A and B are shown apart, each in its own frame.
Chain A
Amino acid sequence: MGLKILTEHINVPGIETLEVYRKHGGYRSVEKALKTMSPDEVVEEVKTSGLRGRGGAGFPTGMKWSFLAKPEGVPRYLVCNADESEPGTFKDRWFMEKNPHALIEGMITSSYALGANTSYIYIRGELLFVLRILEKAIAEAYAAGLLGKNILGSGYDLDLHVAPGGGAYICGEETALLESLEGKRGNPRNKPPFPAVKGLFACPTVVNNVETISSVPWIVNNGGAEYAKVGIGRSTGTKLISASGNINNPGVYEIELGVPVEEFIYSDEYLGGIWKGKQLKAVVPGGSSVPILPANLILKTAAGEDRLMTYESLADGGFVSGSMMGSGAFIVFDEDQCIVRNTWNYARFYHHESCGQCSPCREGTGWMEKVLHRIEYGHGHQQDIDLLVSVAKQIEGNTICPLGDAAAWPVAAAIRHFRDEFEWHIRHPKEATAPGAVYRGQLDTVTA
């Protein structure tokens, strides 16, 4: 069992109440930071920790914080991104539902570090039941003097509110989130200006993921250097992994970064292997946006080294033979899953979720969905594979926000690693569309 920075007390009965949470050391970081540390000292500890954004981008949190502009007389905001919508990702929902005070503690300590006096948790609208849990916990924190005016007699004031979204994946993109928080459609903004300079209500703003913010109390309590001792290289600390798909033990796991992928999949401590005694076919290791890898490349890098659960190891080989850590959504495919169908499913998702601002994404995601649909349903054309590659290439990098890339990458990667399976669907539509049919390397053994 590795170190549990986020989940040590998550299964304690009543941990969602202030009383039990405090009994287990809760809110110590607020006392320590507000009474014994300057805001800059907190920022320094977070920098030292090497903590990286847990929402998907993996950008160093301390550095992001240090970019925050601090003009005289202008309010600054901390906004927590709880818009968890990346397919495969459910760690933040699980964490907030079970241990709401841990996020609230992180919000207070982080807001103090950034000099914010009003902060928001923007949560996806589908999770109104989690919003109720958070609001109840926030009310408890106000009553205990942990929020509001002059927190614990420190002279620091903070108001914390929860704001629901309305059902839009794009609002996980930080500038779309800010638009949404201002009561508008979730259209991402052009950058620059970055939120650190001009964010919520045109004021300097930091947007951080739930898990990122919830890691801050441990860092303040134990020091950034202690946090940096956990993990490997630039992948410090622990990470919540949302595990789904064809495995024996789906769920959320807190791992020390550096666990070998093979151990993670097959050990009973983690996923317990592939369900129903089947074989592993592929894994999407970081949420639907990141490249899919076939079994051999998820277990070992192209150079034959063990693949590890770190930002660097999962990305080893770039997009030729690697993938990304992303949000830590680990989606496992058994031998009976169809890659073409899955790729079409994701393409439909991105088409549905494109905000429509940029034509390469608005049109391109629709084209990809349409072409993948006809391949999956036995009407593909021989040139469709190259067409998909070309459309994906023309979306990538040509849009305001990364949704375009997120739509293009899974299509490009599926074709890169499973081209035969696409060919089979096109050349042998009758076999490929038969009920329960799955490609098992029979491309050239079946005659059309």
Chain B
Amino acid sequence: MAETINEVKFSDEAMAEIQRYISHYPEGRQKSAILPILHIAQAEFGGWVSPEVMDKVAEILNIQPIEVYEVATFYTMFNLKPVGKHVLEVCRTGPCCLRGADQIIDLIKQKLGIEEGETTADGMFTLKPVECLASCGSGPMLQVREKFYENLDSEEKLDEFLEKMRQSEVEKPHHLK
């Protein structure tokens, strides 16, 4: 066996939460808990899941690493590369666009000097346009971690939001609260 290059260790709180999710499924069906575990992993390890983290998840679930990779690459919420402190997941789908989402996305690009999928040089923001977030009555809107920020329908509101985020710490993972 090769030496582990980067030791991945979940906090005790995260492990307790992982065990709780595994306990929701019948004996032998522990793989079912893979999505909640990936969410916990992403929150615990800086907003993304590295191959080492995925290998650790496979070890915890007693499944092959490929079974984790194929799931993590299928679902859009899991970031497979390092991201900025705040990932701006902006809705780009039709109903939000009727209320100005395209313009808000363009403004974010201008103001932060980044394109979709990129991170600002200071590591503060990553722009990640996403599909419909079930908040169509309050668009344009975006999500950062578990929170929705809605009705961002003017440049002033966007500026205010960005400034607030610059001053904010990353929200603690739920299992550490």
Docked-complex contact A125 and B24, CB < 8 angstroms: no
Docked-complex contact A166 and B136, CB < 8 angstroms: no
- Stretch from B2-10, B75-83, B113-121 at the A interface: B75-83
Chain A residues with CB under 8 A of B77: 125-126, 166-167
Give A111-133 as 1s and 0s: 1 = Cβ < 8 Å from B's Cβ atoms.
00000001010001111110010
- Stretch from A66-74, A146-154, A183-191, A302-310 at the B interface: A183-191
Most chain A C-beta atoms within 10 Å of own C-beta, residue among B131, B136, B147: B136
Chain A residues with CB under 8 A of B78: 166-167
Name the residue of chain B whose CB is nearest to the CB of A333.
Answer: B98
CA distance A342 to B98 in the complex (A): 9
Give A347-368 as 1s and 0s: 1 = Cβ < 8 Å from B's Cβ atoms.
0010011010000000000000
Give B126-157 as 1s and 0s: 1 = Cβ < 8 Å from A's Cβ atoms.
00001111111111000100111000000000
Q: Which of A87, A167, A333, A337 contacts B93 (CB 8 A)?
A: A87
Name the residue of chain A whose CB is nearest to the CB of B26.
Answer: A201
Main secondary structure of the interface of A (DSSP, over half): mixed
Docked-complex contact A201 and B29, CB < 8 angstroms: yes
Interface size class of chain A, counting residues whose CB lies under 8 Å from the partner chain = 35 or more
Chain B residues with CB under 8 A of A246: 98-99
Chain B residues with CB under 8 A of A329: 95, 136
Chain B residues with CB under 8 A of A311: none
Q: Which of B31, B39, B132, B147 contacts A125 (CB 8 A)?
A: B39
Give B76-108 as 1s and 0s: 1 = Cβ < 8 Å from A's Cβ atoms.
111000000000010011110111000000000
**B109 on the interface (CB 8 Å rule)?**
no
Chain B residues with CB under 8 A of A212: none
**A215 on the interface (CB 8 Å rule)?**
no
Interface residues of A in 11-62 (CB under 8 A from B): none
Docked-complex contact A165 and B94, CB < 8 angstroms: no
Chain B residues with CB under 8 A of A93: 134-135
Chain A residues with CB under 8 A of B53: none
**B166 on the interface (CB 8 Å rule)?**
no
Docked-complex contact A126 and B32, CB < 8 angstroms: no
Give the shortest distance, in Å, between A357 (CB) and chain B (any CB): 11
Most chain B C-beta atoms within 10 Å of own C-beta, residue among A84, A118, A345: A345
- Stretch from A101-109, A237-245, A396-404, A423-431 at the B interface: A237-245
**A110 on the interface (CB 8 Å rule)?**
no
Q: Which of A165, A185, A288 contacts B70 (CB 8 A)?
A: A185
Most chain A C-beta atoms within 10 Å of own C-beta, residue among B67, B74, B147: B74
Docked-complex contact A127 and B134, CB < 8 angstroms: yes
Give the shortest distance, in Å, between B154 (CB) and chain A (any CB): 14
Docked-complex contact A346 and B131, CB < 8 angstroms: no
Q: Which of A89, A183, A288, A333 contacts B32 (CB 8 A)?
A: A183
Docked-complex contact A163 and B35, CB < 8 angstroms: yes
CA distance A94 to B71 in the complex (A): 28
Given contacts A125-B77, A352-B131, contact A331 B136 (CB under 8 A): yes
Q: Which of A84, A180, A250, A345 contacts B134 (CB 8 A)?
A: A84
CA distance A55 to B75 in the complex (A): 21
**A181 on the interface (CB 8 Å rule)?**
yes
Chain A residues with CB under 8 A of B89: 126
Given contacts A244-B136, A345-B93, A346-B94, contact A166 B174 (CB under 8 A): no
Given contacts A129-B146, A164-B36, A168-B76, contact A183 B71 (CB under 8 A): yes
Given contacts A126-B143, A243-B137, contact A337 B98 (CB under 8 A): yes
Docked-complex contact B75 and A165, CB < 8 angstroms: yes
Number of interface residues of B (CB under 8 A): 43
**A273 on the interface (CB 8 Å rule)?**
no
Docked-complex contact B137 and A183, CB < 8 angstroms: no
Docked-complex contact B147 and A129, CB < 8 angstroms: yes
Chain A residues with CB under 8 A of B34: 183
Chain A residues with CB under 8 A of B67: 183
Docked-complex contact B94 and A345, CB < 8 angstroms: yes
Name the residue of chain A whose CB is nearest to the CB of B43.
Answer: A128
Give the shortest distance, in Å, between B86 (CB) and chain A (any CB): 16
Given contacts A163-B35, A342-B97, contact A124 B136 (CB under 8 A): no
Docked-complex contact B95 and A87, CB < 8 angstroms: yes
**B54 on the interface (CB 8 Å rule)?**
no
Docked-complex contact A180 and B35, CB < 8 angstroms: yes
**B18 on the interface (CB 8 Å rule)?**
no
Name the residue of chain B whose CB is nearest to the CB of A355.
Answer: B74
Chain B residues with CB under 8 A of A217: none
Docked-complex contact A124 and B134, CB < 8 angstroms: yes
CA distance A92 to B135 in the complex (A): 11
**A182 on the interface (CB 8 Å rule)?**
yes
CA distance A341 to B24 in the complex (A): 44
Docked-complex contact A183 and B146, CB < 8 angstroms: no
**B38 on the interface (CB 8 Å rule)?**
yes
CA distance A245 to B96 in the complex (A): 7
Give the shortest distance, in Å, between B24 (CB) and chain A (any CB): 4
Give A139-172 as 1s and 0s: 1 = Cβ < 8 Å from B's Cβ atoms.
0000000000000000000010101111111000
Docked-complex contact B134 and A186, CB < 8 angstroms: no
Give the shortest distance, in Å, between A144 (CB) and chain B (any CB): 20
Supply 9 A–B pairs (Cβ within 8 Å), ascending by A.
A84-B134, A90-B134, A92-B134, A164-B39, A182-B29, A183-B32, A186-B74, A186-B75, A250-B138
- 6 other contacts beyond A128-B146, A167-B78, with CB at 8 A cut-off? A120-B24, A166-B77, A167-B76, A183-B29, A186-B74, A288-B94
